[in-house]
Amino acid sequence: MRIYNTLTKTKEEFVPREDKKVKMFICGPTVYDYIHIGNARTFVFFDVVAKYLRHSGYNLEYIQNITDIDNKIIERAQKENVNSLEYAKKYTKIFKEDMKALGVTSPEYKNATDHIPEVVKQVQTLLDKGNAYVIENDGIYFDLSTFPDYGKLSGRTANMADDAVSRIDDSDKKRNRSDFALWKFSQEGDPSWPASFGDGRPGWHIEDTAITEKYFGPQYDLHGAGQDLIFPHHEAEIAQQESASGLKPFVKYWMHTGFLINKEKKMSKSLGNFLSLNEALKSYSPETIRFYFLSAHYRSPLDFSEEILKQSEAAVMRINEFRHKLNLLTSQVKNIDPKETAEILQKVREAMNDDFNTPEAIGTFFELIRQTNQKLENGQMAMTELTKIIDFFDKVLGIIPKSITFPPEIQTLIDQRELARESMDFTIADQLRSQIESLGYQIDDTIYGPLVKKKK
């Protein structure tokens, strides 16, 4: 399996640090609002990476953090006059429900506020080693002059206008311009935790390395997020962990997803050009949303458009019809040709093994649907092998609709029509067909039985 590594800027053979064991960490959301579908793109992609690694026989530990202490959370909570930790709890719950609804089931979530002792320990280590310093009445900062490797992931060392730089890193007393906060001392109204170097709360970057050091140790295999987090967030993580442990590399493979773009700009909460996942799930099925994300390569930008979402919906509908047809056929398929379908599954795996090329994998699946639709007519396909392929796209990519269901009134009409046909009452059967068609569905009577689909 080959993975594009942001650290080396090349596709590399994936060799975990320990045999088939993989430790993977992905940056999760800051829970001050509903997440948008740009965030969801990143989370769905890494859900597929996790599921594919497990499917390929790796023993994967996958952790995602939840940032439940942050300036934005505190500001929003103050505006609404509620406790900021309670406020974060509310959006953590919503986030987890939305993820579940979208079929993102692979990560184990860890809250920042459940790991304050680990944060304090790491800050203390950095102070003891001379990598951190105190600014009175402000906080503890990382001294970047002690870490010459800063910039090795992104290839740059200075902030740029579009970097997500937190305001908590602002101070005119810093030793170096890009030094970042590890710890902020207590301020009135802010949540605060005890520490021997002064009560306060964690900086932006330290929660991730505190969490991963606890569960994975000082070095691990795979770290990912959206591209916006390469600099300074991931650079800061490298500086913290490699300085604290003295071991390199902190992470072997770094993966970053391209942005979901709306009106030529990165979809983001601060720009206000976003669609929340919660809203999107009211209009589109989870399979449609996942299909939309996965039909583009994860490192490419993806345009937000209702039109592409509609196309994804139509594609998922085609998969649904295909499955429906297969269900009708299960007992009827005669000649078995497992070789051909095994080759298709092999092609799908090759695409996934080449830096998780989901659009190519999906393309191969649709090629199969096209070919099979013809072959099913004369019963030339192997049912068991086909089931394996469908299972793969269900379990790993999550783009197969859960069940073939019609609205109850349509299902009743379909059943009544079948009864009429069985008792040779064709006039009634035809009337029922017209009724079904007038409601936006069409029926094809195949040699295997009636195939019902939504009209295009």
Q: Is 358 in the site for ligand AMP (CB under 6 A)?
A: no
Return the number of other C-beta atoms located less than 10 Å from residue 377's C-beta: 11
Q: Considering CB under 6 A, how many residues would be counted as binding ligand AMP?
A: 17
Q: Is 278 in the site for ligand AMP (CB under 6 A)?
A: no
The least CB distance from residue 424 to ligand AMP, in Å, is 58
Q: Is 275 in the site for ligand AMP (CB under 6 A)?
A: no
**Any bridge partners for residue 451, and if so which?**
444
Residue 285, CA distances (Å) to 103, 190, 282, 291, 324 in order: 11, 40, 8, 10, 17
Rounded Cα distance, 431 and 449, in Å: 18
The least CB distance from residue 257 to ligand AMP, in Å, is 5
Token pair for residue 54? 């497990």
The least CB distance from residue 229 to ligand AMP, in Å, is 5
Q: Using the rule CB under 6 A, which residue among 5, 16, 23, 30 binds ligand AMP? A: 30
Amino acid identity of residue 383, one-letter, is M
Q: Is 268 in the site for ligand AMP (CB under 6 A)?
A: yes
- Write out the binding residues for ligand AMP, residues 393-422 only, by CB under 6 A: none
Q: Using the rule CB under 6 A, which residue among 63, 168, 210, 267 binds ligand AMP? A: 267
- b/e code 232-255 from CB counts within 10 Å (16+ = b): bbbbbbbbbbbbbbeeebbbbbbb
**Cα-based torsion angle of the residue sequence 51, 56, 59, 63 in order, rounded to the nearest 10 degrees:** -30
Query: Do 213 and 122 touch, CB atoms closer than 8 A?
Result: yes
Q: HSE (CB half, 13 Å, CA atoms) of 6?
A: 24
Q: Is 373 in the site for ligand AMP (CB under 6 A)?
A: no
Closer Cβ to ligand AMP, 102 or 260, answer by number: 260
The least CB distance from residue 304 to ligand AMP, in Å, is 9
The least CB distance from residue 260 to ligand AMP, in Å, is 4
Query: Do 163 and 232 touch, CB atoms closer than 8 A?
Result: yes
Rounded Cα distance, 50 and 62, in Å: 7
Query: Between 211 and 250, how does the x/- string for binding to ligand AMP read (CB under 6 A)?
Result: --------------xx-xx---------------------
Residue nearest to ligand AMP (CB): 226
Task: Classify 220 as helix, strand or coil.
Answer: strand
Q: Using the rule CB under 6 A, which residue among 29, 103, 200, 286 binds ligand AMP? A: 29
Query: Between 33 and 52, how does the x/- string for binding to ligand AMP read (CB under 6 A)?
Result: -----xx-xx----------
* Region binding ligand AMP by CB under 6 A among candidate stretches 119-127, 185-193, 254-262, 394-402: 254-262
Judging by DSSP bridges, how do beta strands 220-226 and 21-26 pair with one another?
parallel
Rounded Cα distance, 272 and 73, in Å: 17
- b/e code 177-199 from CB counts within 10 Å (16+ = b): ebbbbbbbbbeeeebbbebebbe
Closer Cβ to ligand AMP, 27 or 436, answer by number: 27
The least CB distance from residue 361 to ligand AMP, in Å, is 20
Instruction: Please report where in the chains the tokens 């391209």 appear, as a residue.
Output: 258
Query: Do 132 and 142 touch, CB atoms closer than 8 A?
Result: yes
Q: Using the rule CB under 6 A, which residue among 53, 104, 195, 260 binds ligand AMP? A: 260
Q: Using the rule CB under 6 A, which residue among 259, 284, 393, 448 binds ligand AMP? A: 259
The least CB distance from residue 222 to ligand AMP, in Å, is 14
247: left (phi over 0), alpha (psi -120 to 50) or beta: beta
Binding residues (CB under 6 A) for ligand AMP: these are: 27, 29-30, 38-39, 41-42, 225-226, 228-229, 257, 259-260, 266-268
